[in-house]
Amino acid sequence: MKSNENFKTIIEPFRIKMVEPINMTSEEERKIILKEAHYNLFLIKAENIIVDLLTDSGTGAMSAAQWGAMMEGDESYAGCTSYYDMKAVVQDLTNMKHIYPTHQGRAAERILFGCLGSEGKIIPNNTHFDTTRANIEFTKAKAIDLVIDEGKNAGSLFPFKGNMNINKLRALFEEHKGTDNIPLCMLTITNNSGGGQPVSMGNIRDTRALCKEFQIPLFLDACRFAENSYFIKKREEEFSNKTIKEIAQEIFSYCDGFTMSAKKDAIVNMGGLLCFNDDVLSVNVKNMLILTEGFSTYGGLSGRDMAALAQGLREVVEEDYLEYRIKSTAYLGDALTKAGIPMVLPIGGHAVYIDAAAMLPHIPALEYPAQSLACELFIKGGVRGVEIGSFMFGSLDENGVEIPNTMELLRLAIPRRVYTQSHIDYVIEVLKLVNKNKDKLKGMKITKQPSLLRHFSAELSPA
Ligand SMILES: *Cc1c(COP(=O)(O)O)cnc(C)c1O
């Protein structure tokens, strides 16, 4: 037994060598800052945030070993050592034949769907992440979400709420049998848009078998493959004695390729991967990569970026790291649940999702309760989360009337290795205070908005 297993406190399995100061603002200052940002937290300067839980994407802290590896990055235009080192690490983990770097996850998606998507094509997934869906729809192909019903029920405690609905997938495959309408099937691990919920190995195997039966390639959206592997180890008995790396290797053995944003589980600030086995696809991908990202041995990344990425992939499968990562996210979620704040359960890997519709029933969906909560959290404590609800995903019907989203969530995403337990304790304290006065919170209205992806730049005011 490791010495930290006797105690309840989750100690960070790292020490801090370098620090960044946090600018401590006052509530009065933050009221002005928020007003000047038109109540949109994306428009606030990061220097005015105390604890930034906007996203876990590219916001992680690199290790000394990663910074050290960066100094040894080889910046040769073609055939740099850093590419071949990274390729070896990725192949050891995934056994894929073709390994292409990209500048981030969506670039891998754009190239993959640029090659395989077009009008009339259909691409199923448990739940497409927003950039994945957008890149598919940009080719005029159709993106379909087929997550199991438990995955859509915020209160369900099912351990693998990211699972693919195998019956629905079979029905879709049957419907298009004998056509080439479905160029590939995707599976997102963990299911980011569904609350960071994992997919079980059993479900990955079933998805694989079905894809094989219908001869449809299976691709993973593997951004959080290590967090998903950790959940498999803890929740699927067969894997309790396997290492995270062994579990990850088995997961990748079932797919024909994957896209990955390295800004998540590769713990770098920028980077992505597009990897697969198909030689014919490789010719097309390579052409597109060279056209839009860069030569095939750097694909939009510096040599030093690939060196850090390779080291990040070695570190992320360490069990002590993942134990701390998953437990510290659950620590925040459990404390808030205990305080009576409703949320998506079980707690996912990278974030907690507060159910603002349940917490603030007096604010209608089209007055954006989760945005109101996000603003209050910033005013009271300088904490930044992100609304995932009708402000982000609301749409207009054919008469121009706004249709609300199905859920009104406030996501608090945890950057990797950045904040300590005392930062999280502070967030808990702020949320408890906000919860105490929740009846006084008021709705919001949009005063100005662009036609696409409005949450990034729209302006709001209290309703
Ligand atoms: C972040 C993310 C992406 C897109 O990656 P970027 O690096 O932000 O372009 C795709 N899929 C999932 C599941 C993600 O979490």
Per-residue pLDDT reduced to its tens digit, 140-199: 999 999 999 999 888 889 999 999 999 999 999 999 999 999 999 999 999 988 788 999
Q: What is the mean pLDDT of residues 361-380?
A: 97
For residue 256, how far is its CA from the centre of ligand 1 (angstroms)? 19
Looking at the DSSP bridge assignments, the partners of residue 100 are 274
pLDDT band at 453 (very low <50, low <70, confident <90, very high): confident
DSSP state of 162: T
| Domain spans in the chain, listed from the N-terminal domain onward | 27-56+318-462, 64-316
Task: Reduce the DSSP state of residue 280 to 3 states and report it.
Answer: helix
**Tens of pLDDT along 64-99?**
999 999 999 999 999 999 999 999 999 999 999 999
Percentage of the chain modeled with pLDDT above 70? 99
pLDDT band at 430 (very low <50, low <70, confident <90, very high): very high
- The residue whose CB lies within 8 Å of the most ligand 1 atoms, and thus the one to mutate among 106, 111, 130, 138, is 106
Q: Which atom of ligand 1 is nearest to the CA of 263?
A: 7
* 182 half-sphere exposure, CB direction, 13 A CA radius: 26
Answer yes or no: same fold for 27-56+318-462 and 64-316.
no
**Tens of pLDDT along 281-323?**
999 999 999 999 999 999 999 999 999 999 999 999 999 999 9
Q: Has residue 102 got a pLDDT over 80? A: yes
Spell out the residues 6+ positions from residue 212 whose beta carbon is closer than 8 angstroms to its own: none
Average pLDDT, the chain: 95
Q: Can you identify the CATH homologous superfamily of domain 27-56+318-462?
A: Aspartate Aminotransferase, domain 1 (3.90.1150.10)
Helices 27-36 & 369-381, crossing angle to 10 degrees? 140
Q: What is the mean pLDDT of residues 391-419?
A: 89
Q: Tell me, using a 6 A CB cutoff, whether residue 300 lines ligand 1.
A: no
215 and 192 Cβ atoms separated by less than 8 Å: no
Q: How far apart are CA 65 and CA 69, in angstroms?
A: 6
Q: What is the mean pLDDT of residues 43-57?
A: 97
64-316 CATH fold: Aspartate Aminotransferase; domain 2 (3.40.640)
- The residue whose CB lies within 8 Å of the most ligand 1 atoms, and thus the one to mutate among 102, 129, 414, is 129
